[in-house]
Amino acid sequence: MRRTPLPADALDATDRAILNALQDGFPLTPHPFAEAAAALGLDEASLIARIQRLRDDGAITRFGPFFDAEAMGGAFCLCAMAVPAEKFDEVVTLVNAHAEVAHNYERSHALNMWFVLACEQPRDIARVARKIEKETGLSVLQFPKEHEFFIGFRVLA
């Protein structure tokens, strides 16, 4: 995934309108691009071509349905550890070796390692966390989500 900003002239006003409009509510109808294009004052073929180009240029990462991971089954838990600096690299290796560790970030805090466990079954979360504690000799704090709020996040293009 592209992690650097696009040049200022990479997007025109129509591209920006597409990016802003299609962050929700793509139609579930036989000709959804035609419908979405009409709302933007475009024709179907040019909307499809522009989305293709935006994807090729890295302005969008994905186009399609966004699924709730838990609704599809599986269990997820955010975990954190306070890892002493001199052991950090060793602990990264031990933690990342678990396939259940989906992502792992170093963060600026006494709790300096934050990772997500993604497991098939809820009981596997505690099992993997205990295993990491045993291997590293450090506590794994578990922060399961108690409530997820609806997100109004919009990137203004």
Partner 1 sequence: MTIDATDRRIIAATQSGLPLAPAPYAEVAGWLGLDEAEVIARLAAMQASGVIRRIALAPNHYALGMVANGMSVWDVDDAQAMDLGAQVGALSFVSHCYLRPRARPAWPYNLFAMIHGSSRAEVETLRAQIAALLGDACRANDILYSTRILKKTGMRLTDREG
Task: Find the binding residues for partner 1 in span 5-64 (CB under 8 A).
Answer: 5-6, 18-19, 22-26, 28-34, 44, 48, 51-52, 54-55, 57-64
4: exposed, middle or buried (Cβ count in 10 Å: 0-12, 13-18, 19+)? exposed
Among 41, 110, 134, 137, binds partner 1 (CB under 8 A): 110
For the segment 90-109, give every residue that binds partner 1 (CB under 8 A).
92, 95-96, 101-109
Closest CA to 32 of 55, 17, 20, 48: 48
Q: Tell me whether residue 5 or residue 137 sits nearer to partner 1 (CB atom).
A: 5
Q: Measured from the CB of residue 1, what is the shortest distance to partner 1 in angstroms?
A: 6
Match 């099992």 to its residue by tokens: 127
Q: Measured from the CB of residue 123, what is the shortest distance to partner 1 in angstroms?
A: 17
Q: Measured from the CB of residue 132, what is the shortest distance to partner 1 in angstroms?
A: 13
- Site size with partner 1, rule: CB under 8 A: 81
Match 């600096």 to its residue by tokens: 85
The mark string for 118-147 relative to partner 1 (x by CB under 8 A, - otherwise) is x----------------------x-xxxxx
Q: Determine the Cα–Cα distance for residues 71 and 127; give it in Å rounded to an integer.
A: 22
Among 113, 125, 128, 132, binds partner 1 (CB under 8 A): 113
Q: Tell me whether residue 60 or residue 125 sits nearer to partner 1 (CB atom).
A: 60
Q: What is the DSSP letter of 69?
A: T
Q: Tell me whether residue 123 or residue 142 sits nearer to partner 1 (CB atom).
A: 142
Q: Determine the Cα–Cα distance for residues 157 and 150; give it in Å rounded to an integer.
A: 21
Q: Determine the Cα–Cα distance for residues 137 and 9; give it in Å rounded to an integer.
A: 52
Residue type, 102: A
Residue 143's H or E segment, with its range, is: strand 141-143
